[in-house]
């Protein structure tokens, strides 16, 4: 392992890999990425549903989506890397007047930024997603350019290009300390020795707070467990009829309950958040939560009543207080850069976020207003956060 580097990145998920790649594009290749696991992208990156969408409530997040999805649309060709990208759209189901009003304002914002988002009624939603039961749905929104991609493919595409340019990726290497000198970053201590560096990038996902504390900085990011279940249809529906589920990979989200689903191979991927569960690093599956998810699931997609659960897993959302990410320099610790707190939409924003942070590290104008993502926002007047957390 190298004993010095221009930049050390803590975390080898989609964010860390994206920053490494975009630094390499700027000619900064004396970079070391440190990953605590045996493989890259096995933390939050490898445990998410793979969704990518333009439909956010915050303008800064919409702009991240525009840039990120633009790159994902070119990714297979530019990186020679398959990412299984399907743009079959996101369908949000709205069942309360307050949600409709919220979405009405945000669809206007999305359209102003050039995003083609459609308003639908319940019947339109059922036609778009065969098998869906839209009882109680007042309205729905749909964006065709939203979709599903493979987080591992994107992470590996970034990592391979960074390595080809000269970046080093060290697996099974845990960061145990961050050294400072003269009030700025001087290096990191790891389970495999010391690396001298003037720049540390905190891309540690749900562990961002613990990593930042090693440098004496508080990053208000907390981990929250999210479950994903895979349903298998082992038998036809009652009466021998075909199981009614969408043939496409359209992502359907019931906004009131946060229940969501999309096609996954011959089965169906689905999940739902538990608003009552406290912060935790525990990623074991809570099977006692499944009945609550199933109740919401069967109400919206009756075919799930005849399905079995083939497997399930839990991952961690890295939540910030306002559900907006933290991107940029830590003002109180020169040399420490943050790319944390994406609150469930990190994978889909990793292409743009990595590019923006790389520009910032290199002293370039990122051509992006980072005020909504500044760490210091939490000590100032509250700013508008993100309303669409699924």
Same domain, 24 and 104: no
27-64 CB burial, b ≥16 within 10 A, e <16: ebbebbbbbbeeebbbbbbbbbbbbbbbbbbbbbbbbb
Collapsing DSSP to helix, strand or coil, 221 comes out as coil
Average of pLDDT values for 243-248? Answer: 88
In angstroms, rounded to a whole number, what is the distance separating the alpha carbons of residues 65 and 51?
Answer: 11
Q: What is the pLDDT of residue 274?
A: 93
| Domain boundary pick from 278, 302, 317 | 317
Same domain, 231 and 108: yes
Average of pLDDT values for 68-90? Answer: 97
Average of pLDDT values for 311-339? Answer: 96
What's the alpha-carbon Rg for the chain, to the nearest Å? Answer: 21
Write the DSSP assignment of 61-121 as a string of letters. Answer: HHHHHHHHHHHHHHHHHHHT-----B---EEEEE-SHHHHHHHHHHHHHHHHTT---EEE-
> Is-contact 225 282, C-beta < 8 A?
yes
Same domain, 25 and 174: yes
- Minimum mean pLDDT among 44-53, 216-225, 231-240, 299-308: which range? 231-240
| Domain boundary pick from 317, 333, 355 | 317
Collapsing DSSP to helix, strand or coil, 54 comes out as coil
For residue 343, give both structure tokens: 């609150």
Q: What is the pLDDT of residue 181?
A: 97
In angstroms, rounded to a whole number, what is the distance separating the alpha carbons of residues 196 and 75?
Answer: 34
Question: Does residue 115 sit within a domain?
Answer: yes
Same domain, 209 and 254: no
293-327 CB burial, b ≥16 within 10 A, e <16: bbebbebbbbbbeebebbebebbbbbbbebbbbbb
State the chain's mean pLDDT as an integer.
94
> Over the stretch 84-107, which tens digit does the pLDDT of each residue have?
999 999 999 999 999 999 999 999
pLDDT greater than 70 at residue 236 = no
Average of pLDDT values for 52-60? Answer: 96
Q: What is the pLDDT of residue 382?
A: 61
Q: What is the pLDDT of residue 49?
A: 78
Same domain, 196 and 272: no
List the one residue out of 3, 64, 58 whose CA is nearest residue 30. 3
Question: Does residue 307 sit within a domain?
Answer: yes
For 15, the domain range is: 7-49+151-221+321-379
Question: Does residue 204 sit within a domain?
Answer: yes
pLDDT greater than 70 at residue 121 = yes
pLDDT greater than 60 at residue 239 = no
Q: How confident is the model at residue 237 (pLDDT cuts 50, 70, 90)?
A: low
Average of pLDDT values for 321-325? Answer: 95
Q: Which helix H or strand E contains 350, and what residues bound it?
A: helix 346-361
CA distances from 191 to 25, 170, 273 (A): 29, 11, 35
| Domain boundary pick from 317, 335, 367 | 317
> Over the stretch 260-285, which tens digit does the pLDDT of each residue have?
999 998 899 999 999 899 999 999 99
E strand segments, the chain: 7-10, 31-34, 51-52, 90-94, 118-120, 139-143, 147-148, 168-170, 175-181, 184-190, 193-196, 200-202, 222-232, 251-254, 259-264, 267-272, 308-319, 326-329, 336-340
CATH number of the structural domain spanning residue 309? 3.30.9.10
Q: What is the pLDDT of residue 98?
A: 95
Q: What is the pLDDT of residue 317?
A: 94
Q: What is the pLDDT of residue 39?
A: 79
> Is-contact 20 44, C-beta < 8 A?
no
Question: Does residue 157 sit within a domain?
Answer: yes
For residue 230, give both structure tokens: 């895979």
For residue 382, give both structure tokens: 């509250």
Q: What is the pLDDT of residue 241?
A: 53
- Minimum mean pLDDT among 47-51, 82-86, 126-130, 213-217: which range? 47-51
Q: What is the pLDDT of residue 132?
A: 97
Q: What is the pLDDT of residue 43?
A: 66
Q: How many structural domains compose the chain? A: 2
In angstroms, rounded to a whole number, what is the distance separating the alpha carbons of residues 165 and 333?
Answer: 29
Average of pLDDT values for 60-86? Answer: 97
Question: Does residue 362 sit within a domain?
Answer: yes
Q: What is the pLDDT of residue 40?
A: 82
Q: How confident is the model at residue 383 (pLDDT cuts 50, 70, 90)?
A: low
Q: What is the pLDDT of residue 46?
A: 59
CATH number of the structural domain spanning residue 167? 3.50.50.60
Average of pLDDT values for 225-232? Answer: 95
In angstroms, rounded to a whole number, what is the distance separating the alpha carbons of residues 341 and 345?
Answer: 9
- Give 376's contacts (C-beta < 8 A, 6+ positions apart): 331
φ, ψ for residue 358 (rounded to 5)? -60, -45
Does the predicted TM-score (pTM) go above 0.85?
yes
Same domain, 263 and 279: yes
201: left (phi over 0), alpha (psi -120 to 50) or beta: beta
């Amino acid at each position: 392992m190298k004993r010095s580097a221009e930049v050390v990145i803590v975390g080898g998920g989609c964010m860390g890999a994206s920053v490494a790649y975009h630094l390499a594009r700027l000619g900064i290749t004396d970079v070391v990425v440190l990953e605590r696991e045996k493989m890259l992208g096995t933390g939050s990156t490898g445990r998410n549903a793979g969704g990518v969408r333009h439909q956010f409530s915050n303008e800064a997040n919409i702009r991240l989506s525009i840039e990120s999805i633009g790159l994902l649309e070119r990714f297979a060709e530019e990186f020679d890397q398959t990412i299984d990208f399907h743009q079959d759209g996101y369908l949000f189901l709205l069942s309360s007047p307050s949600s409709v009003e919220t979405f009405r304002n945000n669809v206007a914002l999305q359209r102003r930024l050039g995003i083609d988002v459609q308003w639908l009624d319940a019947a339109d939603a059922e036609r778009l997603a065969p098998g869906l039961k839209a009882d109680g749905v007042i309205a729905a929104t749909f964006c065709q350019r939203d979709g599903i991609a493979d987080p591992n493919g994107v992470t590996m595409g970034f990592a391979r290009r960074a390595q080809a340019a000269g970046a080093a990726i060290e697996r099974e290497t845990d960061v145990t300390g961050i050294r400072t000198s003269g009030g700025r970053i001087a290096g990191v201590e790891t389970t495999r020795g010391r690396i001298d560096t003037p720049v540390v990038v905190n891309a540690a996902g749900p562990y961002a707070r613990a990593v930042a504390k090693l440098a004496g900085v508080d990053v208000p990011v907390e981990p929250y467990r999210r479950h994903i279940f895979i349903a298998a249809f082992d038998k036809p529906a009652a009466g021998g009829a075909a199981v009614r589920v969408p043939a496409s990979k359209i992502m359907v989200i019931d906004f009131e309950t946060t229940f969501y689903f999309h096609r996954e191979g011959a089965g169906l991927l689905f999940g739902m958040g538990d608003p009552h569960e406290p912060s935790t690093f525990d990623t074991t599956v809570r099977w006692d939560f499944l009945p609550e998810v199933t109740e919401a699931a069967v109400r919206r997609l009756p075919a799930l009543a005849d399905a079995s659960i083939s497997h399930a897993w839990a991952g961690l959302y890295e939540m910030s207080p306002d559900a907006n990410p933290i991107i940029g320099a830590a003002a109180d610790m020169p040399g420490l850069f943050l790319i944390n707190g994406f609150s469930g939409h990190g994978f889909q924003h990793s292409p743009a976020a990595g590019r923006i942070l790389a520009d910032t590290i290199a002293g370039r104008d990122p051509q992006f207003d980072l005020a909504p993502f500044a760490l210091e926002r939490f000590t100032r007047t509250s700013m508008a956060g993100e309303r669409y957390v699924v």
